[in-house]
Structures are given as structure tokens and as C-alpha cells.
């Protein structure tokens, strides 16, 4: 048996829940930028963000989100009419891009190149397995394994180059050993800020 005040408290809670509920679903063409780091594409769909509220993604970053957040995705998928107004699967597409690091070969060019990171634009970065003449080659590959970009960095500058690019371009994933080498770049600022 519920009293009047219980009912109004319930109504208020329901209203709060509705206000906090992220506004997910398809987005009008070219009205929002994709919010997944530096991305030039327009957002096509809004999904619940892990930190609360919603995040607007282009079709590629929506595909990446689908892989990373399978439980939330299932909720959007099984009840598209209730949770949002469309099926999110119709909006997600990888195109000529890698969605996970594991989808790319670990080695390329007869083992001369070793996998390093999944870049924010769906290319995978490789580096020389055995640097020659004090120089590391970095090569970015599309999902069709075409070389998209290549650069040479002095071995002694390679760590610095990786850290700078990792922070600037917010790579989606990195190999474990590379992640360990990059970690100091992230922990240092917060340690410096604490009293």
C-alpha cells in the first residue's frame, strides 16, 4: 500500500531518471562532429557514453563502440523502439579500416615490420622489428594492407615520437609492451598535480 507522498516521490524519481537518460539514436546529416578523438567525419548516431550522457560517433567509431560495449549495444539492439528510434546496426560500418588491433597481422613484410597500435582512424601502425642504421621505420596500413603513410625516426627519438602521437591522436589500442612504455606519459602529470 503506497501513500500519496510515496507516489509523488516515485513520479519525481521517474522524471529524474528520464532527464538523466542519454538521448540516443540516429543524428541528422552533417550536424554534429564525431566525438571520438580527432576524427574528421560527421556523427551519424548517439550512444550512451561510458562516463554518462551520450557520445556522438561516425559510422566507423560506432562500429568500434559496438565491439567495446557489447552489453550496452545489445540493449540498443533488442529494443530500438524503446531505447532509441532505430537499429544501431544500420549505422555502424568499418569500411576499409581495422576495428581491433587483433584483426591486423602481427608481422608484415616477412617479419621486417611488427604491429604497434590501432590508430584513431582505423589504420594500424607498424615499426621496424630490427632498426637499421639507428633509424626506426613507422608505417601506417589500411585494412586492405595498403601502406598509407611511412616515416623514419631516429632510434633514440622513437619513444618520444610514440608518446607524442599517442597523446595527440588518442590511439584506440596499443600492443601491451608499447602500452607499458607509454604509461609514464600518463601518470606523470597527475603525480605532479598532487600535493
Site residues for Zn ion per CB under 5 A? 34, 36, 39, 41, 58, 61
C-alpha cell of residue 19: 532527464
Of 121 and 127, nearer to Zn ion (C-beta) is: 121
Question: Residue 36 or 141: which CB sits closer to Zn ion?
Answer: 36
| Neighbouring C-beta atoms of residue 120, cutoff 10 Å | 18
For residue 56, the surrounding DSSP H or E stretch is strand 54-57
Nearest partner of 122 among 91, 143, 105, 148, judged by Cα = 143
Main-chain phi, psi angles of 89, to 5 degrees: -60, -25
Identify which of residues 43 and 108 has a Cβ nearer to Zn ion in the complex: 43
The CA distance from 40 to 36, in Å, is 10
Q: Which has the closest alpha carbon to 131: 105, 148, 115, 155?
A: 155
Q: How far is the CB of 37 from Zn ion (least distance, A)?
A: 8
CB of 60 to Zn ion, least distance (A): 6
Tell me the closest approach of the beta carbon of residue 120 to Zn ion, in angstroms: 8
Q: Which is nearer to Zn ion, 41 or 77 (CB)?
A: 41
Cβ proximity to Zn ion: between 29 and 81 the closer is 29
Could you give the CA distance from residue 138 to residue 100 in angstroms, rounded to a whole number? 19
What ranges make up the beta strands (E) of 58-132? 107-108, 113-118, 124-128
Choice between 34 and 124, CB closer to Zn ion: 34
| Nearest-approach distance from CB 30 to Zn ion, in angstroms | 13
Question: In sequence order, which residues have a C-beta less than 8 Å from that of residue 65 and are 6 or more positions away?
Answer: 36, 47, 55, 57, 73, 92
Q: How far is the CB of 59 from Zn ion (least distance, A)?
A: 8
Give the nearest distance from C-beta 184 to Zn ion in angstroms.
28
Q: Is 139 helix (H, G, I), strand (E, B) or coil?
A: strand
Residue whose grid cell is 528520464: 18
Amino acid at each position: 500500500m503506497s501513500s500519496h507522498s510515496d507516489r509523488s516521490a516515485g513520479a519525481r524519481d521517474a522524471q529524474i531518471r528520464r532527464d538523466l537518460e542519454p538521448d540516443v539514436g540516429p543524428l541528422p546529416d552533417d550536424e554534429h562532429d564525431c566525438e571520438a578523438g580527432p576524427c574528421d567525419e560527421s556523427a551519424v548516431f548517439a550512444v550512451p557514453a561510458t562516463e554518462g550522457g551520450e557520445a556522438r560517433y561516425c559510422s566507423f567509431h560506432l562500429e568500434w563502440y559496438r565491439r567495446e560495449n557489447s552489453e550496452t549495444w545489445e540493449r540498443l539492439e533488442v529494443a530500438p523502439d524503446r531505447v532509441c528510434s532505430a537499429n544501431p546496426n544500420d549505422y555502424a560500418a568499418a569500411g576499409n579500416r581495422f576495428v581491433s588491433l587483433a584483426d591486423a597481422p602481427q608481422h608484415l613484410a616477412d617479419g621486417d615490420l611488427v604491429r604497434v597500435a590501432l590508430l584513431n582512424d582505423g589504420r594500424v601502425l607498424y615499426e621496424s622489428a630490427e632498426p637499421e642504421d639507428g633509424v626506426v621505420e613507422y608505417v601506417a596500413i589500411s585494412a586492405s594492407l595498403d601502406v598509407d603513410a611511412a616515416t623514419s625516426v631516429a632510434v633514440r627519438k622513437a619513444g618520444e615520437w610514440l608518446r607524442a602521437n599517442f597523446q595527440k591522436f588518442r590511439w584506440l589500442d596499443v600492443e601491451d609492451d608499447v602500452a607499458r612504455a607509454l604509461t609514464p606519459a600518463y601518470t606523470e602529470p597527475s603525480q605532479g598535480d598532487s600535493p
